[in-house]
Amino acid sequence: MAKIDDDRSGALVTKDSSSPACPIKGCTDTTWYADAHDIEYHTSDRTYSFHKCQRCDVLFIVPMLWDRLEEIYPKTYYSYAPKKLGIVLRQRSLDRRVLKVLASIPGDRLSVLDIGSGSGWMLDQIKSCSSRVGFTQCVDLDEGAQAQAVARGHAYHLGRIEQFETDRRFDLVLALGLIEHVRDPALVLRRIEGLLTAHGRVLIQTPNFDALDARLFRHCSWAGYHTPRHFVLFNRQSFTDLAKQSGLGVVSFSYIQSPGYWSVSVLGAMRRLGLIEISAQRPPYHHPLNPLLRASFAAFEFARTPFARLSQMVFTLGRR
């Protein structure tokens, strides 16, 4: 079945089907799953649709605004202010996990690549904790972060990972909160696989749409949709399958807590009911109720951790 790249949506459609095709394999066995709005930054009032591929078992957004990133990532986006929020949220949950993976990799001089690194704060932490790390590479689209990263001793590629060219191979690749933001996850995973040493590891964190909060807020703009910035969403099995198809095998896996998805989803519901006010100038992360909700749901998630499928997944991958 012939494919056409629809520049308006970023999704594939077919000449003989009105259904958007799955961005993983171009499958046409897709169905509407949910509608959602930007409940965080209110970049537009547009309604976006998430569709589900029955074969690949992934969700994907339509329209997929891969060529309009400046519109959907506003200046108030949380990762643009890492000292205020981004560093704290990511560092607390991932520092120990990153260092554990790093400790399992042999070698006296290791190279580490962080995709979507910002100013390289995670690489700063890694270098300060491990004298074996001799080379660090950032890949990011943030021009403002480049000078900071270089000043801290990191190499920096300003652009997408798909465009990154190097003869160096890396012992550890970090892709934390990245794969759900890209138009072609399979291409990115193949690119990562080609950048690994034989004993290299990849650490990936990505949302899980097969979680309790995802089901409860499915038709209420679940925060894990991160509309319209999350393009493709996985569950454990669908991401494992894609990794294998890309030449990568799962070394370890775990679910981790994401109380922020709960709190932002609840705040979005309260806004729709007219109980609170949230706007582009005041995202839900800065609402005074957010800390209380996060703390409450963190306790709830902690109690569920041993037996539940939580809404964030962490994979350690290696070459097959």
Residue 109 has pLDDT above 80, yes or no: yes
Q: Write down the pLDDT at residue 11.
A: 47
Closest CA to 173 of 112, 247, 117, 131: 112
Q: Write down the pLDDT at residue 14.
A: 37
Confidence of residue 94 (pLDDT cuts 50, 70, 90): low
- Judged by average pLDDT, the poorest of 74-78, 97-101, 112-116, 178-182 is 74-78
Closest CA to 152 of 141, 131, 137: 137
Q: Write down the pLDDT at residue 133.
A: 95
Q: What tens digit of pLDDT does each residue of 220-270 get?
A: 999 999 999 999 999 999 999 999 999 999 999 999 999 999 999 999 999
Q: Write down the pLDDT at residue 70.
A: 87
Residue 115 has pLDDT above 80, yes or no: yes
Average pLDDT over residues 293-317: 96
Phi (first) and psi of residue 173, to 5 degrees:
-120, 125
Confidence of residue 315 (pLDDT cuts 50, 70, 90): very high
Residue 6 has pLDDT above 90, yes or no: no
What is the value of pTM for the model shown?
0.89
More confident residue, 9 or 263: 263
Residue 9 has pLDDT above 80, yes or no: no
Q: Write down the pLDDT at residue 1.
A: 28
- Rounded to an integer, what is the distance from CA 226 to the centroid of its chain? 10
**Helix or strand run (H / E) with residue 197:** strand 196-207
Q: Where are the domains of the chain?
A: 3-72
Q: Which residue has the tokens 């409940």?
A: 39
SS3 245: helix
Confidence of residue 280 (pLDDT cuts 50, 70, 90): confident
Residue 182 has pLDDT above 60, yes or no: yes
Q: What tens digit of pLDDT does each residue of 43-90 get?
A: 999 999 999 999 999 999 999 999 998 899 887 777 655 544 444 444
Average pLDDT over residues 117-131: 89
Separation between Cα atoms, residue 178 and residue 161, nearest integer Å: 10
Q: Write down the pLDDT at residue 214.
A: 98
CA distances from 38 to 230, 253, 279 (A): 11, 30, 10
Residues composing the chain: 320
Q: Write down the pLDDT at residue 136.
A: 97
Residue 165 has pLDDT above 50, yes or no: yes
Average pLDDT over residues 126-153: 91
